[in-house]
A and B are shown apart, each in its own frame.
Chain A
Amino acid sequence: MIANALQQIGRRTFDVLATMGFAVMTYMKVVFGFSRMSVFVPLLIRQMYVVGVQSLLIILVSGLFIGMVIALQGYQVLVSYGAEGSLGPMVALSLLRELGPVVTALLFAGRAGSALTAEIGLMKATEQIASLEMMAIDPLRRVIAPRFWAGLICMPMLATIFTLVAIYGGKLVGVDWLGLDTGTYWSLMQAAVEWKQDIGSMLIKSVVFANVVTWIAVFRGYHAVPTSAGISKATTETVVQASLMVLGLDFVLTALMFG
């Protein structure tokens, strides 16, 4: 009885370790395994265009509106304490610390992540992945690595763009519409924002989210069941799991950095 239970536990542990080992090996291969730079760089640039540039519009529009909404809501609260001068710091800090990286990651999962999963899943279903294997070309290096790196590079840039646009949106509402003083808006913001604490945390968060979201997207695609039902399921799972992971990790990171 006890021996049996121990055996079970042992086997489970071994399975988990083996899976983790496999995952780490694959991750290392994707991250460091690209072979020839002359081959890799064009592929990377192409993917950065697909993943990054094509996500730009949704990032710009969402950023602008979110910045405007925060300013509007924040103003209502601050004005009742006579503290509407602090609108600048409030907008900037909430965006840098939380909304910038988080909303960008969520949008990225929906816009680029789902597309990555579907594309790779379809490459699998149409035997393009198997065909690479048979040509003695490693699809992890050829297909997965450039897409993963593109996500890794693009997401922090997108988060930065999102935050800048949103701060500008806040200025549109606070200064141009509600009539705050421009100088106050910017100078108090500059005084409140700290390099390490705020801008650093935004970058750290978005690098972590970029890893998680892109990794989930490429791997859901790579391990999708190669049928139409399988690919649609994988795509949904990418968005759901990536979003949940982002929100969960955001709490953990916030607790670590500000707690």
Chain B
Amino acid sequence: MINKDSDNLVVVDGLTFSHGERLIYDNISLSIPRGKITAILGPSGIGKTTLLRLIGGQLEPDCGHIWFDGHDVPQLSRKELFELRTRMSMLFQSGALFTELDVFDNVAFPVREHTRLPESVIQTLVMMKLEQVGLRGAHHLMPSELSGGMARRVALARATVLDPELIMYDEPFTGQDPISMGVLVSLIHSVNETLGSTSVIVSHDVHEVLSIADYVYVMADKRIIAQGSPEQLRQDQSEQIVQFLKGKPDGPVPFHYPAAPLEQQLRELAGGESAGK
């Protein structure tokens, strides 16, 4: 059952997953190379967060394999899974800072849980991480006192404090002002460089993603419809890709939710009203 692949840290193979009745993924496969930044692009509600949760073992696929460094994540026992999770971390869309802890304690939290380092070492480590995201001066603030961009930077510091091999970013740019966006892009880049870790970004912010990623998958309608380097995708002429990358309102992905023709519905409404009188 070992599928050791030296180039790829994560390999998703023939994954099918549904939330209850609703099919989210129909037999998708993708691989995430070590040390690189891989991006997964797709519109809202397509299942990007779901994919990250599948990789993290929080959800179980209907069928297919998810290999993390040779371990098939869905097959692991809870104990093995928890061991594996110490090697990965996830930056949640909302930041997910613990509201009852201040910035310092939030970043120190995983360290205190998983190591027995003396407090002075923790202090140094946390301050270094906060310095990296430019928030050393904010160590005493509570999460409620932070702006959205700052919260995400604290979350980034917390996610990287134990130097994980895999960092998963869930829509890191969504809802950020242009400056925070730029800051986050360069932070994610520098984190990847300095830690030598593997990064996965799921997002629908085409521009930022194409500027930062080494390799990009584009998802639509339960499948992967395109993949390649940012350069290759920019060259791609297929309608679906062009619509998504350029942000055109109508195209293969329709603007209108499927419905009966407007004329017919209006007539029915008018008919219903006069019948009611």
Contact = CB atoms under 8 A, between A and B. Distances in A.
A137 B78 CA distance: 11
Contacts of A135: 85, 89, 109-110, 113-114
Interface stretch (A3-11, A98-106, A125-133, A213-221): A125-133
A134 B88 contact: yes
B83 interface: yes
Contacts of A138: 82
Size class of B's contact patch?
A: 20 to 34
Contacts of B56: 133-134
Given A131-B90, A134-B56, A126 B96 contact: yes
Contacts, number: 42
A130 B58 contact: yes
A133 B93 contact: no
Contacts of B89: 134-135
Interface in A130-172: 130-131, 133-138
Interface string B62-105: 00000000000000000000110110111011101111000000
B140 interface: no
Size class of A's contact patch?
A: 10 to 19
B53 interface: yes
B125 to A, nearest CB: 16
Most central of A123, A126, A138 by chain B CB within 10 Å? A126
B53 A130 contact: yes
A126 B113 contact: no
Contacts of A137: 113
Nearest to B110: A135
B45 to A, nearest CB: 14
B99 A126 contact: yes
Nearest to A134: B90
A123 B89 CA distance: 18
A128 B58 contact: no
B113 A130 contact: no
A147 to B, nearest CB: 12
B245 to A, nearest CB: 29
Nearest to B84: A136
Interface in B133-165: none
Contact of A136 (B53, B82, B96, B97): B82
Contacts of A136: 82-83, 85-86, 114
B23 to A, nearest CB: 21
A126 B94 contact: yes
Interface of A: 39, 123, 126-128, 130-131, 133-138
Given A128-B97, A130-B96, 7 more contacts: A126-B99, A127-B96, A128-B99, A131-B90, A135-B113, A136-B86, A137-B113
